Structure 1
Amino acid sequence: MSDRTTRGGRAAARSARPSTGKMLAVAGVCLAVGAGGIGAATAPVWADSALPSEAAAPMRNVAGLAAPVVKPVELGVSPTDGARGVNPASLPSVKAVNGVVKDVLLEPDSGGGPVPGTTSADGSTWTAEQPLDFDTTYRYSFTIVDQAGRETKKGQTFATVAKANEADAAVYPLAGTTVGAGQPIEIVFSEPVLDKAAMEKAVTVTASSGQAVALRWYSDRRVRIRPEAFWAANTQVTVDLKLFGVDFGNKMIGNSDTKVTFTVGQRRLAVVDDLSKTMNVYFDGQLVKTAPVTLGDADWLSPTGYAVIMEQERSSKFNAGSIGLKPGDKGYYPPLTVEYANRLTSSGVYVHQALESAWGAVGKFNVSHGCVGLLPADAAWFFNNMKTGDVVQTLNTGAPAVEPLEGFGDWNIPWAQYAKR
């Protein structure tokens, strides 16, 4: 859904004193030249030389002093002459009231092919057929013909939005990927979005499952999108961003449209319960695996609620400094490598193979810094069968739920609140 905005202006009209045989008239806010001259609705556009007497015009058939019998041409040109920062999504146009336009040429001032356009059936209006380029000066030339057949050639220039004012956006998941059923869509804008309601009209999400979605803004540059429940298995999701020409605010203009399509795999959910020290894994609602676990100890409780697998590493280097610990601190450990690492939060909560020294605690008591520890065979199975976007739900640890931006904790926000506008 996309709103295009056209930028243009209306210049102040000139005036002149009437004289014998030639009159200047002002119609509304339009400029007009007596004796069949040309005026401007949006810019001061005048003929540079005197027009011939109407006494010799084809429409003149009564002898006597020249008198205005041809309606003056009112000319509207968009963008206006000399305009700067013109939105490239706007379609330039030349319009003549009481006349026709011909020989319109709109082209980059630095060279290149002309911008294609069409002329209305009555010849009164020429309109460009395609958007313009960013950071480009364009040159107009055109001819206006009044009702007496007299021609006036005109030319003017304008410039589009500079590169420094271009804005765009990145979408996750990436196009062509397959993700788990818990993966929210994330759009990160290169510039702050001041009018979020207008931006939402430029974003369309369609799912082959027919699921409706809601958008939730976490900042002026970050928005997440999810359905009420996890994506249905085998759903194809398309995100269509019609951002070209969209005004972000602060004179920043969207520079391109983006369309991303990704696929949802099986609905895979791992439920970890601190009371039983077990993990139950469900594929499309069917229990497929049960395994013992160890969780965070009393000083490092594992967060509860839903988390989404963000990334997977066969081997991952862990450093206590990443969670604020230094040598001598309680809980400090030297740098080490863990196997079958599945990241759940940006702060470093994982599902991974427990260290060998912790194998005796698995299924019995908690010894980790908040991670979910598995025995080697179970860790390998989890790593090979669970994918990014799959969901891990942790119960009964006594800790708060995963925050939305601590990875993808969006599912811990009730739908009524998530979808609230």
Structure 2
Amino acid sequence: MTTRFPRRSTAALCAAAAAVLMAAAACSTDEGDLANEEPTAAAADVTITPEDGGSEVRTDSPIVVDADKGKITDVTVEQKLSEDETDESMTGTYNDGKTEWVSDWTMHPGSDVTVTAVAENSEGESTEFISEFSTVEAVEGQRLEIKSINVEPGSTVGVGMPVVVDFDMPVKNKAQVEAAMEVRSEKPAEGAWNWFGDKQAVFRPAEYWEPHQKVTVNLNLAGVSASEGVLGVENRRLEFEVGRSQISSIDEDSHQMVVERDGEKIKEFPVSLGMATQHKYTTTSGTHLTMAFHTDYRMSNDTLGVSKDDPSYYEEYVAYAVRISNSGEFLHTADWNYQLGEANTSHGCINMSVPDSRWFYEESLRGDPVDVTGTDRELEVNNGWGYWQRSADEWVSQSATGEADDTSEAGTPGSPHHEA
């Protein structure tokens, strides 16, 4: 016998299904739903030093941004110097994992600083962090300023050109100041700063600059601690072009001057050097640089201490004169000298004919090397721009940092920051 179950209507089946669904819903909880979802990554956390709200902060304190549970994607530093002036040029360096950023330079004295950092977590979610603080003022009378720079912005110079920075106050913390002065070149080079006294810093590459390139000098001196209580108060930037390579060689014995341009001999002149009857009348041997150019220039040995009453006193006005030292040495017109190419009869300068001295005047750039050989008087390293008298190794060893600077890369050896 077959057993038959009662047939239910469609409406009844739908009602039963609804009841089952309602019962299942009644047994469900919010915790059960969330348990099936992926966990959310923690937001990145960032610490900024100096901390928010600080005042009288040392200008040479580094700005440090540290990220936890994430990486730093952007840091900006705004330094408000006055109502109308804001500096946003501060750069910094990341570590390999981009979990730390450290400022490259020091901060302006008396500025309101805002550091804004952005970091993202493992899911790419970004969070912004801000620290606002103010820096210590520079005290009147203890403000380091740039007195002069020997290179004119935008000028074209010779391959031997140094960068000479003269300060208005003595610098004791030379390593920090060196580290604040960045030299960049388009073509690879190594160089360093040397100091001549406490107020003059000189940058020179190990070898002559490669010709036909741009060199940029960034003097990031605002906020650097130059001496106890003395702060730099300005940044300065200049660019110059290195022109063709022109190197002149003068031989005391042959009384000849040879000019090479980009490695090719282009001129040879008869000359007359110092008569060498006295030390002061002896032309110095060594690598000189062309420093300044004059026309109708007064030449006199009163610059050597000779009075007008002395029988050896002289005074002449020359058509063309190019200075190569601070001890009175010039390459100049000497239309009275009839022994050019034959004998050395000058008072220490390099005598030339009118057309030859005019050519040299017109065809030379400041910073062109002039090598003199054969005399028994050596050019001093601090006589004019006699900086090439030091070897490359000695030049680097005489720097305060003791390291060569790769001018094709950003940054400098050492650090301008205060060591805690």
TM-score tier by shorter-chain length is: 0.5 to 0.7
The aligned counterpart of 1:249 is 227
Report the CA distance between 1:386 and its aligned residue.
Answer: 1.2
Contact 2:110 2:135 in 1 (8 A): no
Structure 2 letter corresponding to 1:377:
P
- Report the counterpart of residue 176 of structure 1 in structure 2: 154
Aligned residue for 1:332? Answer: 313
Partner SS, residue 306 of structure 1 = strand
CA distance in 2, matches of 1:268, 1:311: 16
- Structure 1 residue 304: Cα displacement: 0.4
Change (3 A) 1:250 1:159: closer
Match of 1:361 among 336, 339, 343: 339
The residue that corresponds to 1:406 in the other structure is: 383
Aligned AA for 1:317?
R
Q: Determine the structure 2 residue equivalent to 1:188.
A: 166
CA, structure 1 residues 408+114, in 2 after alignment: closer, same or farther (shift >3 Å)?
A: closer
Q: Percent identity?
A: 26
What letter corresponds to residue 269 of structure 2 in structure 1?
Answer: A
* TM-score, scaled relative to structure 2: 0.63
Equivalent residues in 2 for 1:39-188 (5 A)?
Answer: 79=54, 87=58, 160-169=137-146, 170-188=148-166
**Can you give the 5+ residue segments of structure 1 that lack an aligned partner in the other structure?**
1-75, 93-107, 117-130, 139-156
Aligned in 2, Cα 1:201/1:419: closer, same or farther, shift over 3 Å? same
CA distance in 1, matches of 2:245, 2:385: 16
Aligned residue identity for 2:305? G
Give the number of the structure whose alpha-carbon radius of gyration is greater: 2
Any idea what SS the aligned residue of 1:231 has? coil
Greater RCO (Cα-Cα under 8 Å, separation 6 or more): 2
**Distance (whole Å) between structure 1 residues aligned to residue 387 and residue 83 of structure 2:** 49
Gaps in structure 2 of 5+ consecutive residues: 1-50, 64-79, 88-105, 113-133, 403-420
**What amino acid sits opposite 2:329 in the alignment?**
V
Once the two structures are superposed, residues 1-56 of structure 1 have per-residue CA deviations (whole angstroms, 9 ceiling, x without a partner) of: xxxxxxxxxxxxxxxxxxxxxxxxxxxxxxxxxxxxxxxxxxxxxxxxxxxxxxxx
How far residue 327 of structure 1 moved from its aligned partner, in angstroms, is 2.9
CA contact (8 A) 1:87 1:253 kept: no
Give TM-score scaled by structure 1 length: 0.63
**How far off its partner does 1:249 sit?**
1.2
Separation of aligned partners in 2, 1:324 and 1:228 = 36
CA offset at residue 301 of structure 1? Answer: 1.1
Distance, in Å, in 2 between the alignment partners of 1:414 and 1:176 is 29
Deviation for aligned residue 1:237:
0.8
In the alignment of these two chains, the number of paired residues is: 292
Higher helix share: 2
In structure 2, C-alpha distance between the alignment counterparts of 1:282 and 1:264, rounded to whole Å: 16
Amino acid in structure 2 at the alignment position of 1:347: S
Distance 1:317 1:229 in 2: 35
Q: Structure 1 residues 228, 91: closer, same or farther in 2, change over 3 A?
A: closer
State the SS of the aligned residue for 1:378: helix
Q: How big is the shift at 1:188?
A: 1.5
Which one of the candidate residues 297, 301, 313 is aligned to 1:316? 297
Aligned-partner Cα distance in 1 for 2:362–2:187: 27
The secondary structure found in structure 1 opposite 2:377 is coil
Structure 1 distance, partners of 2:359, 2:331, is: 12
Contact 2:218-2:236 within 8 A present in 1 as well: yes
Root mean square deviation of aligned Cα: 3.2
Decide whether the 8 Å contact of 2:221 with 2:232 is kept in 1. yes
**d(CA) in 1 for partners of 2:319 and 2:369?**
20
CA separation of 1:393/1:164 partners in 2, compared to 1, >3 Å: closer, same or farther? Answer: same
Of 183, 189, 213, the match for 1:205:
183
Q: Could you tell me how far 1:79 is from its partner in structure 2?
A: 4.6
Residue pairs, 1:22-37, within 5 angstroms: none
